[in-house]
């Protein structure tokens, strides 16, 4: 049915843990501790990365821990040592995602020229769609399913952030620097148009034959969106 990732046998390159020679000190040195911590962190990170990619493609229920473990090159039991259960893994992926996701909007500020601010924002968001499509997809999926996990911790900060930027946009409009558009809808349109190229990538590819990975198509897309949002399609 839904395209499933192959569960290939995990490559066993088990990073040769050079065993401690008999009689050597049991208490690890500070640098050894550091190495160990770095190792643990990098393992957690690779599990999270694998989980992000799989969850964003096949959904929470469409992805098994076995598949995540295989892609992260650890055993399933080992994965469950790092993340107590599937839900904990999933929420950790979401939490990490949010940091990347709410970043770009922060930049909007009254001091900027609105035309430049919108131009820049479109570029940054389109770069996110190109470079972090998995994050875009998972965010979309989670929101579509009612954001059962994100909503609680997302709603308030998102609402506040957006209200803040709505005020900025309104200031621009009042100053005559921007046409009188309802600020919320401008923000939604900026999100929708840019994220579309990540979330509907296969449709874009089916229709246009290209994706944002093609540099020329990226520039063409950016210019088109900037022109559309700034000047519309009605001839002047």
Contact residues toward DNA (CB under 7 A) are 7, 14, 36, 40, 43, 63-66, 74-78, 80-82, 84-87
* Partner whose footprint covers residue 41, from DNA, a copy of itself, none (CB < 5 to 8 Å by kind): none
Residue matched to tokens 């969850």: 55
| Residue 67 engages a copy of itself in binding (rule: CB under 8 A) | no
Specify the stretch interacting with a copy of itself by CB under 8 A; choose among 15-23, 27-35, 68-76, 145-153.
145-153
For 50, the token pair is: 């694998």
Q: Give whichever of 43 and 201 is closer to a copy of itself, judged by the CB atom.
A: 201
Contact 35, 70 (CB under 8 A): no
- Could you tell me the smallest distance in angstroms from the CB atom of residue 135 to DNA? 21
From residue 157, give the alpha-carbon distance in Å to each of 98, 179, 195, 230: 11, 27, 20, 28
- As a whole number of angstroms, the distance between CA 225 and CA 194 comes to 8
Q: Exposed, middle or buried, 86 (CB in 10 Å: 0-12/13-18/19+)?
A: middle
* Partner whose footprint covers residue 81, from a copy of itself, DNA, none (CB < 5 to 8 Å by kind): DNA
Of 128, 1, 134, which Cα lies nearest the Cα of 56?
A: 134
Specify the stretch interacting with a copy of itself by CB under 8 A; choose among 26-34, 42-50, 75-83, 152-160.
152-160
Helix axes 183-199, 201-208, angle to 10 degrees: 70
- Could you tell me the smallest distance in angstroms from the CB atom of residue 82 to DNA? 7
| Residue 233 engages a copy of itself in binding (rule: CB under 8 A) | yes
* Partner whose footprint covers residue 231, from DNA, a copy of itself, none (CB < 5 to 8 Å by kind): a copy of itself
Q: Give whichever of 73 and 196 is closer to a copy of itself, judged by the CB atom.
A: 196
| Residue 1 engages a copy of itself in binding (rule: CB under 8 A) | yes
Q: Give whichever of 70 and 226 is closer to a copy of itself, judged by the CB atom.
A: 226
Q: For residues 139, 140, 141 and 146, what is the CA-based torsion angle, rounded to 10 degrees?
A: 90
> Which residues of the chain form beta strands (DSSP E)?
none
Q: Give whichever of 27 and 216 is closer to DNA, judged by the CB atom.
A: 27
Q: Give whichever of 52 and 199 is closer to a copy of itself, judged by the CB atom.
A: 199
- Could you tell me the smallest distance in angstroms from the CB atom of residue 93 to DNA? 14
Q: Give whichever of 25 and 207 is closer to a copy of itself, judged by the CB atom.
A: 207
Q: Furthest-apart CA pair in the chain: how many Å? A: 84
From the CB of residue 98, how many other CB atoms can be counted at a distance below 10 Å?
17
* Partner whose footprint covers residue 179, from a copy of itself, DNA, none (CB < 5 to 8 Å by kind): a copy of itself
Contact 38, 97 (CB under 8 A): no
């Amino acid at each position: 049915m839904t395209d499933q990732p192959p569960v290939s046998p995990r490559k066993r390159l088990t990073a040769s843990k050079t065993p401690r020679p008999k009689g050597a000190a049991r208490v690890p040195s500070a640098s050894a501790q550091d190495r160990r911590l770095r190792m643990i962190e990098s393992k957690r990170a690779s599990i999270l990365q694998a989980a992000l990619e799989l969850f964003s493609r096949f959904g929470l229920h469409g992805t098994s821990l076995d598949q995540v473990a295989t892609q992260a090159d650890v055993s399933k039991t080992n994965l469950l040592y790092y993340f107590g259960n599937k839900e904990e893994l999933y929420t950790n992926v979401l939490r990490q995602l949010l940091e990347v996701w709410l970043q770009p909007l922060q930049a909007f500020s009254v001091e900027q020229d609105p035309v430049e601010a919108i131009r820049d924002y479109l570029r940054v968001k389109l770069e996110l769609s190109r470079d972090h499509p998995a994050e875009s997809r998972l965010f979309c999926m989670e929101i579509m399913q009612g954001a059962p996990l994100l909503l609680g911790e997302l709603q308030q900060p998102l609402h506040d952030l957006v209200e803040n930027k709505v005020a900025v946009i309104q200031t621009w409009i009042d100053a005559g620097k921007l046409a009188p558009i309802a600020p919320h809808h401008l923000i939604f349109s900026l999100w929708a148009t840019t994220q579309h190229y990540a979330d509907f990538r296969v449709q874009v590819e089916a229709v246009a034959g290209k994706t944002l990975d093609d540099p020329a198509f990226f520039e063409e897309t950016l210019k088109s969106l900037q022109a559309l949002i700034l000047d519309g399609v009605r001839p002047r």
